[in-house]
């Protein structure tokens, strides 16, 4: 079918909506009827030539074989497709025998729809097609719609026909039908701006992605190719990728077989995708409904190519229970093996925050990559993301772990920044991530960043948030930059504004950093007093409601059963104060044993105060020793937590106080060598790591103050110790490195790599522009008021 015939057919189908549905549906709902009817009519035309053969097979099974259930295989053989219809009806027959009796017509239609094989009936059900037909019947437009679709003036069959006027209507191939279907989807999405793009990626973006995926390996494509999209929507990426490979007039025109796989959670778009697979003679069973994140539908399969535009900025909280049990990840797709700073390999969390699940889809695809032993080209991935995938999440977080895993395993190939407002449902900056586990030698250990955000042409009319698009030359420029794998310096126009494309090449390690904690010693003053000990009566996490309860009921809170009887009143007060309590906190709040234990701890502190005294000291070490001695003297049994609670209650930070000692270490020579080897320093540098040499050869460590604790991000290519000495120690003399805290993180900052400073304009230039604006303003005011206003160029009369 040529382009003119293709456009004519799309226009005809498009007109059905306006002709028949204008007063029955709001404009945004036209697609709910037109798209399933296109699918139905196409399937109907494909089955028409073998209708008699299928009905003969039905009679044979029911009458000769006496079967109560029909056998699919012979029916599929009879129809010539992976679907069939066992009813006597076709759409033409329904139209030609229709009467004014809507009930009879609907009964015949129901019989017709129920005659389809299960795979088609599933699509009909997802589309809610029979319900739509009932609605149209009630509005007396159903017959008109069917008449339009069986009109002899359009050809949805795979054979050339003549219309009643003797004009030849070209055959519509499966590929051509796919193009018609995709064009209708595109037009409906563009018309309905409220939903535009929710399940639809701009076609030019998919064209770019297919070039990036296939162009580098066009001469080494395998004879059998599998393509997967875990968030396939209406199937645009899958079918466009297939078209790109198989189009006989295209750049690749591969001879191998292509198999498409996908999963989609939305019923309607799943039905569109699955029916599109049928229309194009792909296996519809490879398209699965439901959530990709909840169920690993393709657990045992690996794919050659994967393209996806997963939802970003969308919560996956509803699927959390399938992926995590508390803090433990229970789905192996979202766990990765990484080494810590010391080289110890461990299984770590690879899940992002629950408010944004886009990186989960990336991990789904990474887990479905073919090994290079199974395929020389491995697997190639193109995935669309927003900016948060580049940098959200600190070192050790799920997001950072995902970035680290794909970079350290040398899978991240290229990231391309796209223009703003390129997509239908978002104006934010988006990026295409290119992954491969079989990089060519020149790209190994390196990552290419391409900034294409200035490559676009404006649309005459906005489509949702989309106000620009890629022209073919923009796709060509980005693809060529990708293939060349060389830095590109951005050009500057006459106004010193950046134009065109820019590209840079980085080592994998350039994106990594060590996040290291910098400690400072705790310095504390201490003094016993009844006022300082009083808060021990209350649990820290429940202090406000416990203070209220104590003020309201006094010593009665220690009577068995009393607080339980007041539970309703206590919880009502908490609700009035907007204090939210979980089940555990509610139980604790009315637990007499807990109240009693806290009172006893406070009383213990008062007893220790009698022994130690109430004198203030600026040496917490002496104070702590005195408290320890008093506890032993009284033979008080206190846990370490309880003892610390008392000490913390009566002490506070003071920069002028003595440093709080932690432990004195007496290392044997071998142990000292082990320590310096582990820390990567000489014995004379141990103070930089918190070990301070004493006169007797021992090493003293100090308690750190959590409020003074800081962290530094040190590039992987830099030395933590060198960085500390150059960037931290000159400013904070008492600081030391907590090397046990080091975490490895990865992030990618396009702004940092591609930012170009634009010098401020000179004062004379700015002044000149202001004067010109003043002159224009004066002229406008004169026109409005009809008076002459003096300017610097013309004195007032």
pLDDT score of 333 = 96
pLDDT above 80 for 64: yes
3-state helix vs strand vs coil in the chain, percent to 5: 45, 15, 35
Torsion region of 29: left, alpha or beta (phi above 0 gives left; psi -120 to 50 gives alpha): alpha
Torsion region of 120: left, alpha or beta (phi above 0 gives left; psi -120 to 50 gives alpha): alpha
DSSP per-residue letters across 702-737 = EPBPTTT-EEEEEETTS-HHHHIIIIITTT-TT-EE
* 3-state class (DSSP) for residue 446: strand
**Band of the pLDDT at 226, cuts 50, 70, 90?**
very high
pLDDT above 70 for 794: no
What average pLDDT score do residues 626-634 get?
95
Distance of alpha carbon 603 from alpha carbon 81, whole angstroms: 85
**Band of the pLDDT at 788, cuts 50, 70, 90?**
low
pLDDT above 60 for 187: yes
Q: What is the mean pLDDT of the chain?
A: 90
pLDDT one-digit tens code per residue, 721-751: 999 999 999 999 999 999 999 999 999 998 8
State the architecture of 193-323+356-513 in CATH terms: 3-Layer(aba) Sandwich (3.40)
Distance of alpha carbon 158 from alpha carbon 46, whole angstroms: 7
Distance of alpha carbon 68 from alpha carbon 482, whole angstroms: 60
CB atoms within 10 A of CB 56: 12
pLDDT above 50 for 629: yes
pLDDT score of 414 = 98
pLDDT score of 27 = 81
pLDDT above 90 for 278: no
Please give the structure tokens belonging to residue 407: 């970079």
Among the residue ranges 43-57, 267-281, 704-718, the one predicted with the least confidence is 267-281
pLDDT above 70 for 499: yes
pLDDT above 90 for 159: no
Distance of alpha carbon 54 from alpha carbon 47, whole angstroms: 9
* DSSP 8-state code for residue 230: T
pLDDT score of 789 = 53
Please give the structure tokens belonging to residue 364: 């789904």
Provide the percentage of residues in the chain whose pLDDT is more than 90. 70
pLDDT one-digit tens code per residue, 369-417: 999 999 999 999 999 999 999 999 999 999 999 999 999 999 999 999 9
pLDDT above 50 for 717: yes
pLDDT one-digit tens code per residue, 411-470: 999 999 999 988 877 778 899 999 999 999 999 999 999 999 999 999 888 777 788 999
Distance of alpha carbon 679 from alpha carbon 651, whole angstroms: 33
Decide if 750 contacts 385 (C-beta within 8 A): no
Decide if 367 contacts 403 (C-beta within 8 A): no
pLDDT above 90 for 258: yes
- Where in the chain are the domains? 3-182, 193-323+356-513, 524-653, 661-752, 760-797
Distance of alpha carbon 316 from alpha carbon 296, whole angstroms: 15
DSSP per-residue letters across 319-374 = GHHHHEETTEE--GGGEEEEE-TTS-EEEEE----TT--HHHHHHHHHTTBPPTTT
Distance of alpha carbon 244 from alpha carbon 178, whole angstroms: 13
Among the residue ranges 100-114, 297-311, 529-543, the one predicted with the least confidence is 100-114
Decide if 720 contacts 714 (C-beta within 8 A): yes
Provide the percentage of residues in the chain whose pLDDT is more than 70. 95
What average pLDDT score do residues 273-291 get?
88
pLDDT one-digit tens code per residue, 292-334: 999 999 999 999 999 999 988 889 999 999 999 999 999 999 9
pLDDT score of 30 = 87
CB atoms within 10 A of CB 419: 19
pLDDT above 50 for 782: yes
pLDDT score of 793 = 46
Distance of alpha carbon 203 from alpha carbon 240, whole angstroms: 8
CA R_g for the chain = 37
- What is the model's pTM? 0.84
Distance of alpha carbon 30 from alpha carbon 119, whole angstroms: 24
Q: What element of type H or E holds 46?
A: helix 31-47
pLDDT score of 779 = 66
pLDDT above 50 for 197: no
Contacts 24+ apart (CB under 8 A), 575-583: 577/544, 577/545, 579/544, 579/545, 581/545
Among the residue ranges 23-37, 344-358, 754-768, the one predicted with the least confidence is 754-768
pLDDT one-digit tens code per residue, 651-678: 999 999 999 999 999 999 999 999 999 9
pLDDT score of 493 = 84
pLDDT score of 470 = 92
Per DSSP, the chain holds a count of helices (H) and strands (E) of 30, 27
């Amino acid at each position: 079918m040529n382009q003119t015939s293709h456009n004519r057919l799309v226009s005809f189908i498009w007109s059905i909506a306006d002709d028949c549905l204008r007063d029955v549906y709001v404009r945004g709902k036209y697609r709910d009827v037109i798209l399933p009817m296109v699918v139905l009519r196409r399937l109907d035309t494909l089955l028409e030539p073998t209708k008699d053969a299928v009905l003969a097979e039905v009679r044979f099974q029911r009458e000769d074989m006496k079967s109560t259930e029909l056998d699919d295989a012979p029916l599929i053989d009879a129809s010539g497709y992976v679907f069939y219809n066992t009813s006597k009806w076709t759409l033409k027959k329904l139209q030609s025998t229709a009467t004014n009796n809507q009930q009879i017509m609907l009964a015949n239609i129901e019989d017709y729809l129920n005659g389809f094989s299960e795979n088609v009936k599933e699509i009909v059900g997802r589309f809610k097609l029979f319900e739509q037909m009932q609605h149209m019947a009630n509005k007396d437009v159903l017959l008109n719609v069917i008449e339009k679709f069986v009109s002899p003036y359009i050809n949805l069959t795979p054979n050339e026909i003549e219309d009643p006027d003797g004009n030849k209507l070209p055959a519509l191939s499966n590929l051509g039908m796919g193009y018609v279907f995709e064009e209708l989807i595109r037009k409906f999405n563009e018309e309905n701006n409220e939903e535009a793009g929710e399940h639809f990626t701009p076609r030019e973006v998919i064209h770019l992605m297919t070039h990036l995926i296939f162009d580098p390996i066009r001469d080494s494509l395998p004879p059998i190719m599998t393509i997967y999209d875990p968030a396939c929507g209406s199937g645009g990426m899958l079918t466009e990728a297939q078209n790109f490979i198989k189009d006989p007039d295209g750049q690749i025109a591969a001879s191998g077989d292509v198999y498409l796989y996908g999963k989609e959670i939305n019923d309607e778009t799943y039905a569109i995708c699955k029916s599109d697979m049928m229309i194009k003679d792909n296996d519809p069973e490879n398209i699965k409904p439901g959530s990709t994140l909840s169920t690993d539908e393709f657990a045992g399969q690996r794919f050659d190519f994967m393209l996806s535009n997963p939802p970003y900025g969308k919560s996956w909280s509803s699927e959390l229970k399938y992926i995590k049990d508390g803090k433990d990840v229970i789905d192996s797709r979202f766990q990765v093996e990484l080494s810590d700073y010391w080289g110890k390999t461990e299984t770590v969390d690879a899940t992002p925050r629950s408010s944004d699940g886009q990186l989960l889809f990336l991990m789904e695809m990474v887990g479905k990559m073919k090994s290079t032993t199974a395929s020389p080209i491995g697997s190639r991935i193109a995935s669309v993301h927003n900016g948060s995938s580049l940098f959200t999440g600190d070192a050790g977080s799920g997001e950072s772990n995902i970035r680290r895993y794909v970079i350290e395993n040398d899978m991240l190939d290229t990231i391309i920044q796209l223009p703003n407002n390129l997509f239908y449902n978002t104006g934010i900056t988006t990026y295409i991530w290119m992954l491969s586990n079989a990089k060519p030698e020149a790209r190994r250990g390196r990552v290419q960043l391409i900034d294409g955000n200035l490559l676009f042409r404006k649309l005459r009319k906005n489509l949702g948030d989309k106000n620009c698009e890629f022209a073919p030359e923009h796709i060509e420029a980005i693809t060529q930059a990708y293939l060349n794998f060389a830095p590109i310096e951005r050009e500057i126009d006459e106004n010193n504004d950046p134009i065109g494309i820019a590209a840079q090449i980085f080592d994998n390690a350039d994106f990594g950093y060590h996040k290291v904690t910098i400690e400072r010693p705790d310095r504390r003053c201490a003094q016993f007093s009844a006022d300082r000990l009083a808060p021990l009566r209350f649990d820290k996490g429940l202090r406000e409601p416990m203070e209220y309860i104590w003020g309201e009921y006094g010593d009665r809170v220690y009577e068995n059963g009393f607080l339980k009887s007041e539970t309703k009143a206590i919880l009502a007060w908490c609700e009035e104060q907007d204090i939210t309590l979980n089940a555990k906190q509610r139980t604790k709040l009315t637990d007499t044993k807990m109240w009693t234990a806290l009172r006893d701890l406070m009383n213990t502190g008062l007893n220790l105060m009698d022994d130690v005294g109430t004198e203030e000291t600026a040496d917490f070490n002496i104070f702590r020793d005195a408290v320890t001695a008093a506890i032993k003297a009284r033979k008080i049994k206190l846990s370490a937590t309880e003892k610390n609670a008392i000490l913390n209650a009566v002490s506070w930070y003071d920069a002028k106080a003595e440093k709080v000692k932690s432990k004195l270490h007496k290392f044997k020579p071998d142990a000292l060598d082990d320590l310096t080897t582990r820390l990567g320093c000489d014995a004379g540098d141990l103070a930089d790591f918190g070990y301070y040499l004493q006169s007797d050869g021992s090493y003293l460590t100090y308690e750190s103050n959590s409020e003074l604790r800081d962290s530094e991000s040190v590039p992987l290519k830099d030395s933590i110790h060198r960085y500390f000495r150059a960037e931290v120690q000159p400013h904070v003399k008492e600081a030391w490195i907590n090397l046990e805290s080091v975490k490895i993180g990865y992030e990618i900052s396009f702004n940092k790599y591609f930012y170009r400073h634009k010098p401020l304009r000179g004062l004379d230039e700015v002044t000149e522009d202001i004067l010109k604006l003043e002159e224009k303003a004066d002229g406008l005011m004169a026109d409005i008021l009809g008076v002459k206003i003096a300017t610097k160029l013309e004195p007032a009369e």
